[in-house]
Amino acid sequence: MELLEQIVRAGVVGLGGAGFPTGKKLDCRVEWLIVNGAECEPLLRTDRYLMRHNAGRVVRAAGAVARMVGAKHCVIALKRAYTEEWKALEAALVGEGTVPIELFPLDSFYPAGDEQVLVYEVTERVVPPAGIPLDVGAVVSNLATMNAISDAMDGIPLTKKYITVTGEVKRPTIVRAPVGTSFEECIRLAGGSKEERYCVIDGGPMMGKVMGYEEAREAAVTKTTSGIIVLDEDHYLSVLSKTPVGRMKRLASAACIQCSYCTQLCPRNLLGHPLEPHKIMRRFAAGGDIPSLLDDPAVRQAAICCQCGVCEQYACPMGLTPRRINALIRDEMRKAGIPYERREALWEADPERRNRKLPTKRAAARSGVLDYYDFEIDTLAEAAPSTVRISLRQNMGAPAQPVVQEGDRVREGQLIARCPEGKLGADIHAGIGGVVTKVTDYIVIEARG
């Protein structure tokens, strides 16, 4: 079977966060294949674990994908500070040989793993605003995705996730969990929460989704879950995530001093993109509801914000929320059917960019998670849940359609939901064997003997 078909059949999606179907992304011919091992979110350790323990599998998949897409250059990009990981990958490269794969050293800055930032670091080419790496001859795939592709090459579908479970837990660890495992079970495998009531960040502290206690207790692992960070229920990030729009506006009017630090440190602005959050804040603070601001070309640039959070969790001295305001504007543009219009230009990075990179540790400090930054996490806990609740919305594009019904007995790895014909999406397979007890937006499987 062709590699692309193996990837599609295994239901592989991008495991770096967005969940774009990998079979679709890699159906291309490119000059550069970049494997993203930056893992730039301050507390996540999953990709580093995979580099140390699964380097051979990652390198094998990278070589196979590089051949498939016809890449002249194949690089695995990782921080130069990851010495153990560097050694493990170098050792694995010795055996590969058929496609030259290079390791590319990155500084320890955030967001080194942002696709457009990474492409610039490696190739010195600027992906145009609202563009994709393919526009400059590159494709970027996350390192954990390569691990999943290696499984796909062995006929193993994507049903298990490696997840960093850290923060206010007793034993921070990597958990390998079937998709659909409850967050509670993952936290239990990390020794349990130190807090009676807590909030959870699904992902990293800069870009992850903050969940309150009740929501976290209902949450289950999806293909895109990369981190479960347990924090005090009243942590700064929890409070920030709950700021209502009205309060954001009042704060912007009262406190935005137009210092433009948010723009000066914005990673997309530093790539030369015309995104200037301080101008958006000026318009937002001046009044009017969001739909009334959409005629302003400066406001429309919110569409090219990557939601990295540098502006609000690091740059703004007044504690304002340009990232969240950009997200609201982008939603309104989508609702109103307003497309992003890119002017023709030669895109060049700001010459100051090199001096304005945000050190990852400072990002952790400003986000209030420095206490967990230096955790060495090198243990693996295997989850063996008795029940899984598998969402049919696991990826970018259309939700999968169930091909099982209540009462069916399924085995681990069996196809349980299929990508709708002709749509962007991915198949879903059972993470455990058992009996299907519910089919709604979720498929529930109980591991009965």
Distance set, CA 116 to CA 15, 68, 302, 412 (Å) = 17, 22, 16, 37
Selected from 49, 104, 162, 261, the binder of ligand SF4 by CB under 6 A is 261
Selected from 175, 230, 256, 290, the binder of ligand SF4 by CB under 6 A is 256
> Which range binds ligand SF4 by CB under 6 A, 47-55, 68-76, 322-330, 390-398?
322-330
Task: Report if residue 320 touches ligand SF4, rule: CB under 6 A.
Answer: yes
Smallest gap, in angstroms, from Cβ of residue 279 to ligand SF4?
9
Task: Report if residue 303 touches ligand SF4, rule: CB under 6 A.
Answer: no
Task: Report if residue 33 touches ligand SF4, rule: CB under 6 A.
Answer: no
Q: Which is nearer to ligand SF4, 327 or 447 (CB)?
A: 327
Q: Which is nearer to ligand SF4, 231 or 252 (CB)?
A: 252
- Whether the CB-CB separation of 400 and 427 falls below 8 Å is answered with yes
Selected from 326, 360, 394, 395, the binder of ligand SF4 by CB under 6 A is 326
Mention every residue, 6+ apart, whose C-beta is less than 8 A from residue 259.
Answer: 278, 317
Distance from the first to the final alpha carbon of the chain: 34
Mention every residue, 6+ apart, whose C-beta is less than 8 A from residue 147.
Answer: 50, 54, 57, 58, 61, 162
Helix, strand and coil content of the chain, in percent to the nearest 5, comes to 35, 20, 45
Smallest gap, in angstroms, from Cβ of residue 14 to ligand SF4?
19
Total number of residues shown for the chain: 449
Smallest gap, in angstroms, from Cβ of residue 350 to ligand SF4?
13
Q: Which is nearer to ligand SF4, 203 or 309 (CB)?
A: 309
> Which range binds ligand SF4 by CB under 6 A, 82-90, 145-153, 239-247, 313-321?
313-321
Angle at alpha carbon of residue 213, lines to 208 and 218, rounded to 5° = 85
DSSP 8-state symbol, 253: H
Q: Which is nearer to ligand SF4, 167 or 267 (CB)?
A: 267
Q: Report CA torsion sign: 27, 28, 33, 38.
A: negative
Task: Report if residue 330 touches ligand SF4, rule: CB under 6 A.
Answer: no
Return the structure tokens found at 444.
């529930």
Task: Report if residue 127 touches ligand SF4, rule: CB under 6 A.
Answer: no
Return the structure tokens found at 306.
């990557």
Q: Give residues in contact with ligand SF4 (CB under 6 A).
A: 256-262, 266-268, 275, 277-278, 281, 305-311, 315-316, 318, 320, 322-323, 326
